[in-house]
C-alpha cells in the first residue's frame, strides 16, 4: 500500500445559518450565510482490504472496489448518512478522471470511509450537505486531487440533486465549501466571481435556537415551491426578486455598520417566507419568542432552527433562559473556534 497516504485522511464541514435571502437560493436568488463552528460533520478514510462505507462498527456496506460501487449504485432517497457518502463517492467518480487511470489492483480503490456528525438532525442547519462536503474533501485528499471551493460546492450540490434526486439549492454547499461569512449571487450560470467573502466582524452578535424534535425535511419544504417557481407563478417570481434586493440592502447595512437595518431585514425575510410557504407552528413560536424579547429572528434553513440578533448583548441571558424554559435548545456561536477547518483542512 505504498501509494496510500501514510495515515488516514479526514474531511470536515461545518453547520451553517442563512442570515438573509433563503429560500431564494434555490431559485436564482441571493443569500448571506455563515458557517457555525460549534457543529460539524467529519468523514475519515483509511486503508482497507475492500471498499466500505461505515457509520459505526456494524452499520455499513462494502464492495470489492470503489469503481465497482460507483457503477452499481442507483439514485435513492436521502435517509441516512451512508446514502450521502454513497452519493459523494458516485459524484467524485464521475468528476475525477484519476479513477479511470487506476488499475483494478490499485490499493487506492480499497478503503474504509466513515462519517461522524454532531449537527442536530432535521433542524435546517445543513447537516446532510455537511456530510457530503466533508466526504468530497476526504476523497480529494485520499486521491490527491486539488478541488477549488467553487468546484467543491458544485460537486456537493450535484451529489444530492443528481445522485439522490433531492430538491436543494446551492447556498449550503457554497458556505460549507468556502467557510466564514459570505454573500452569494446564485443566479445561473454560477461562478466563483459571484461569491464574496465578508468580514465576520461586521456582523452583530447572533444566537441560534432549535427544536430538538426536528422539522420537515428540506426536500418536502421545497417540493411545492419549486413547482410554483418552474411555472413562473407571479407571486413567487416577485418574492424571489425581493429576496435578492433584501440581500443587497443587508450587505450594505453591514458595511455601513447599520445594525438596526440588518435587524429589520432579518425580520422581513421571515415574514416574506411565511407569505410564500407554510411555516410550522413551532418555527413561528420560536420567532415570536425572540421578537417578544426585542430580538430579530428568521429560519436558519428549511425549518427547525432560527438564527437571531438581540438588540443588545446584555439580552443573551434572558433569551437563553426563556428559550430553554420553552423546551428549545439555545446557543451563542463560538467564533473563537474558527480556524483552518473552515477550508476543510
CATH code of 91's domain? 3.30.230.120
- What confidence score (pLDDT) does residue 339 get? 46
Reported as a single tens digit per residue, the pLDDT across 4-14 is 555 799 999 99
pLDDT in the model for residue 166: 86
- Considering 158, 183, 200, which residue would you say is the last residue of a domain? 200
C-alpha 119/C-alpha 47 separation (Å) is: 27
**pLDDT score of 34 more than 90:** yes
Checking if the pLDDT of 225 tops 80, the result is yes
Residue 122 lies in a domain: yes
| pLDDT reading at 299 higher than 60 | yes
| CB-based contact 16:299 (threshold 8 Å) | no
Q: Would you say residue 31 lies in a domain?
A: yes
Domain with 245, as residue range(s), is 204-336
192 and 102 share one domain: yes
Task: Render pLDDT for 244-298 as a digit per residue (tens, 0 to 9).
Answer: 999 999 999 999 999 999 999 999 999 999 999 999 999 999 999 999 999 999 9
Q: Which of 312, 307, 297, 310 is nearest to 330 (CA)?
A: 307
Tens of pLDDT, residues 129-178: 999 999 999 999 999 999 999 999 999 999 999 988 888 899 999 999 99
The pLDDT, as a whole number, for residue 1 is 43
| Residue 343 maps to a domain | no
pLDDT computed for residue 342 by the predictor: 46
Within-domain flag for 159? yes
Q: Which of 25, 172, 283, 315 is catalytic?
A: 172
Q: Is the Cβ–Cβ distance between 131 and 123 less than 8 Å?
A: no
Do residues 255 and 293 share a domain?
yes
Say yes or no: 168 and 294 in one domain: no
For residue 342, tell me if it sits in a domain. Answer: no
| Judgement on whether residues 186 and 58 belong to the same structural domain of the protein | yes
Give 128's pLDDT tier (boundaries 50, 70, 90): very high
Q: Is residue 4 part of a domain?
A: no
Whether residues 131 and 278 fall in one domain: no
Domain boundary among 200, 217, 238: 200
Q: Which of 46, 88, 261 is nearest to 176 (CA)?
A: 88
- pLDDT at residue 334, as a whole number: 83
- The share of the chain scoring above pLDDT 70, in percent, equals 88
Average pLDDT over residues 305-310: 98
The count of structural domains within the chain is: 2
Q: Assess whether 192 and 209 both reside in one domain.
A: no
More confident residue, 66 or 181: 181
* Alpha-carbon span 236 to 332, nearest angstrom: 33
Q: Bigger pLDDT: 2 or 335?
A: 335
pLDDT tens string 35-63: 999 999 999 999 988 888 887 665 677 77
List the one residue out of 302, 203, 297 whose CA is nearest residue 250: 203
Q: Higher-confidence residue: 77 or 44?
A: 44
Same-domain status, 17 and 157: yes
Q: 136: closest CA among 193, 176, 78?
A: 176
Q: How many CB atoms lie within 10 A of CB 201?
A: 8
**Residue 77 pLDDT:** 43
Is the pLDDT at 78 greater than 90, yes or no?
no
162 lies in some domain: yes
Residue after which a domain boundary falls, among 151, 181, 200 = 200
Confidence at residue 54, expressed as pLDDT on a 0 to 100 scale:
80
Same domain, 166 and 238: no
Composition of the chain by helix, strand, coil, percent to 5? 45, 20, 35
CB–CB of 87/163 below 8 Å? yes
Question: Do 174 and 44 fall within a single domain?
Answer: yes
Residues 295, 185 share a domain = no
172: annotated active-site residue = yes
The CATH number assigned to the domain holding 304 equals 3.30.70.890
- Per the domain annotation, does 341 fall within a domain? no
Residue given cell 419549486 in the structure block: 226
The verdict on 39 and 161 lying in the same domain is yes
Other Cβ atoms within 10 Å of 26 Cβ, number? 23
User: Average of pLDDT values for 109-120?
Assistant: 93
What's residue 42's pLDDT?
97
Cell numbers for 185: 449571487
Residue 335: band (very low, low, confident or very high) from pLDDT cuts 50, 70, 90: confident
Phi, psi of 230 (to 5 degrees): -65, -30
Overall average pLDDT of the 187-193 stretch:
95
Residue 81 has pLDDT above 90, yes or no: no
Q: In this model, does residue 184 exceed pLDDT 80?
A: yes
Question: Are 39 and 186 within one domain?
Answer: yes
Residues of the chain with pLDDT > 90, as a percent, come to 72
Amino acid at each position: 500500500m505504498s501509494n496510500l497516504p501514510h495515515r488516514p485522511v479526514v474531511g470536515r464541514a461545518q453547520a451553517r445559518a442563512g442570515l438573509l435571502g433563503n429560500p431564494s437560493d434555490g431559485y436564482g436568488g441571493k443569500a448571506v450565510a455563515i458557517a457555525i463552528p460549534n457543529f460539524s460533520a467529519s468523514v475519515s478514510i483509511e486503508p482497507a482490504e475492500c471498499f466500505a462505507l461505515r457509520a459505526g462498527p456494524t452499520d455499513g456496506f462494502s464492495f470489492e472496489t470503489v469503481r465497482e460501487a460507483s457503477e452499481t449504485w442507483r439514485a435513492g432517497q436521502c435517509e441516512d448518512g451512508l446514502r450521502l457518502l454513497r452519493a459523494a463517492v458516485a459524484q467524485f467518480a464521475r468528476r475525477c478522471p484519476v479513477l479511470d487511470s487506476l488499475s483494478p489492483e490499485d490499493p487506492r480503490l480499497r478503503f474504509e470511509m466513515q462519517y461522524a456528525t454532531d449537527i442536530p438532525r432535521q433542524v435546517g442547519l445543513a447537516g446532510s450537505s455537511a456530510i457530503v462536503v466533508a466526504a468530497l474533501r476526504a476523497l480529494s485528499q485520499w486521491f490527491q486531487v486539488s478541488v477549488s471551493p467553487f468546484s467543491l460546492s458544485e460537486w456537493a450540490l450535484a451529489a444530492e440533486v443528481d445522485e439522490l434526486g433531492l430538491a436543494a439549492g446551492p447556498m449550503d454547499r457554497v458556505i460549507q465549501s468556502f467557510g466564514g461569512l459570505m454573500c452569494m449571487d446564485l443566479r445561473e450560470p454560477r461562478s466563483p466571481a459571484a461569491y464574496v467573502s465578508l468580514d465576520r466582524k461586521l456582523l452583530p452578535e447572533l444566537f441560534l435556537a432549535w427544536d430538538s424534535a426536528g422539522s420537515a425535511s428540506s426536500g418536502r419544504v421545497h417540493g411545492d415551491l419549486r413547482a410554483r417557481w418552474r411555472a413562473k407563478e407571479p407571486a413567487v417570481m416577485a418574492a424571489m426578486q425581493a429576496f435578492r434586493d433584501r440581500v443587497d440592502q443587508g450587505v450594505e447595512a453591514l458595511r455601513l455598520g447599520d445594525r438596526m437595518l440588518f435587524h429589520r431585514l432579518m425580520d422581513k425575510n421571515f415574514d416574506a417566507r411565511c407569505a410564500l410557504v407554510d411555516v410550522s407552528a413551532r418555527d413561528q413560536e420560536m420567532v415570536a419568542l425572540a421578537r417578544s424579547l426585542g430580538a430579530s429572528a428568521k429560519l436558519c434553513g428549511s425549518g427547525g432552527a432560527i438564527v437571531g440578533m438581540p438588540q443588545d448583548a446584555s439580552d443573551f441571558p434572558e433569551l437563553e433562559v426563556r428559550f430553554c424554559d420553552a423546551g428549545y435548545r439555545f446557543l451563542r456561536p463560538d467564533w473563537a473556534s474558527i480556524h483552518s477547518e473552515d477550508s476543510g483542512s
